[in-house]
Chains A and B, each alone.
Chain A
Amino acid sequence: KNEVEQSPQNLTAQEGEFITINCSYSVGISALHWLQQHPGGGIVSLFMLSSGKKKHGRLIATINIQEKHSSLHITASHPRDSAVYICAVAPFSFGNEKLTFGTGTRLTIIP
């Protein structure tokens, strides 16, 4: 069983829809990261959180430490949001923030 599981693996939606991507993990963590990867492109960090909720523009990330679960929401989705969204966790390990990644959720927004 992977330490980080994402769902769904693939998601296609119409422009304007509210999007939710889920991430579950099985280890104690110091932080959880949500990352965005465009085809052929590098990885961009969207959020890093260890508790509660963060919002940036149309993106919202939440985490429930007790349930070991996080969600990434996109409001008013747009075709430019089409990308692979990756959840990654930094397990408890002082001085070493190496990340363990999920396999990603491929999001396609249709105009």
Chain B
Amino acid sequence: GAGVSQSPRYKVAKRGQDVALRCDPISGHVSLFWYQQALGQGPEFLTYFQNEAQLDKSGLPSDRFFAERPEGSVSTLKIQRTQQEDSAVYLCASSPPTSGSPDTQYFGPGTRLTVL
């Protein structure tokens, strides 16, 4: 497919479990973003990659959250010891190689995480 894909689409975890969320960006897209969207709220920035380099992780809410993009394409967001407040939709977005001007971000469908 041509768009950003995310898996799984839905994840239910028991409190304390570790989860891994996957994002496949559009082929050739350099920038990759992770956002967290709580119910009824706008998304909030978590972290940003340019190729394999994690340039900004200022939005990660705690050290239980970890993201990687080892080969500059697929990215994984890992949450350790999940808590109920981690329940949200996790959105991934990618954008093409920068030309020095802002670029449109293309969003995936999101992974809805529910922590019981």
Contacts and interface: CB of A to CB of B under 8 A. Distances in A.
A45 B98 contact: no
A45 B33 contact: no
A50 B102 contact: yes
13 contacts: A33-B105, A42-B109, A44-B107, A45-B105, A50-B102, A95-B98, A96-B56, A97-B31, A97-B95, A97-B103, A97-B105, A98-B33, A103-B40
A78 to B, nearest CB: 23
Interface of B: 31, 33, 35, 40-45, 48, 50, 55-56, 59, 91, 93, 95, 98, 102-110
Interface of A: 4, 30-31, 33, 35, 41-45, 48, 50, 86, 88, 90, 95-104
A96 B42 contact: no
Chain A binding site: helix, strand, loop or mixed by DSSP? strand
B106 A45 contact: yes
- Counting from the closest, the 9 A-B pairs by CB-CB distance are A101-B42, A31-B102, A43-B107, A42-B109, A103-B42, A98-B45, A101-B43, A45-B104, A30-B102
A61 B110 CA distance: 26
Contact of A43 (B44, B50, B91): B91
Contacts of B48: 96, 98
Given A42-B109, A43-B91, A86-B42, A98 B56 contact: yes
Contact of B44 (A48, A96, A97, A101): A101
B23 to A, nearest CB: 12
A82 B20 CA distance: 33
B55 to A, nearest CB: 6
